[in-house]
Amino acid sequence: MAGVTLRPVREDDLTIFEEEFGTPAGRSELQWFGFRSPGRDRRAYAENGMLRDDGGTLTVCDGDDVAGRVDWGKAWGWGPPADSWCWTIGILLRPAFRGRGIGTEAQRRLAAYLFDHTRAHRVQAYTDTRNRAEQRALEKAGFRREGVLREAQWRAGAWHDQLLYALLRTDPR
């Protein structure tokens, strides 16, 4: 999708993020973890523009429209931190922009950005076993399903299985 781009977060994006992703309807049942501090993103934006050495957030655009956001952070769980870290990514799309391939392209572009601008060899993502749309998006973006993380996520009063996906720097894209 040629019209999908990623760019640094702008202050006016924060209002969209708060309005669209601050409710169960804006996140969907598979991404709703309860109400959070409404000022968290604004504090991060004021402090560092939501771009840090250990992670960050970019705005997903479809043409001139804000479609959502992508986030990434360092995952330290695969061995000694100095040598075995990787990026874990996530995405939130506004309801009106879902189901159009925007998520696939945004995650493809984010992985390429991270490989181009960091030394990471691995970019990973996880999603609920029921989130078929995200599974398809990750697979279309080149990520491979690696396994099931049993009861790894607490949400809506219960533990939920997650699927782990990853893309390596050396994987064909």
Helix (H) or strand (E) holding 26: helix 24-27
> What was the pLDDT predicted at 79?
80
Range of weakest confidence among 10-24, 54-68, 139-153: 10-24
> What was the pLDDT predicted at 77?
73
Across 131-155, average pLDDT: 97
The distance between the two most distant Cα atoms of the chain, rounded to a whole number of Å, is 42
- Whether the CB-CB separation of 37 and 47 falls below 8 Å is answered with no
- Long-range pairs, 19-26, Cβ under 8 A, ≥24: 20/68, 20/92, 20/94, 20/95, 21/69, 21/92, 25/95, 26/94, 26/95
> What was the pLDDT predicted at 23?
87
What is the rounded average pLDDT for all residues in the chain?
94
Q: What is the pLDDT of residues 49-98, one digit of tens each?
A: 999 999 999 999 999 999 999 999 999 777 887 788 999 999 999 999 99
pTM of the entire predicted model: 0.94
> What was the pLDDT predicted at 137?
98
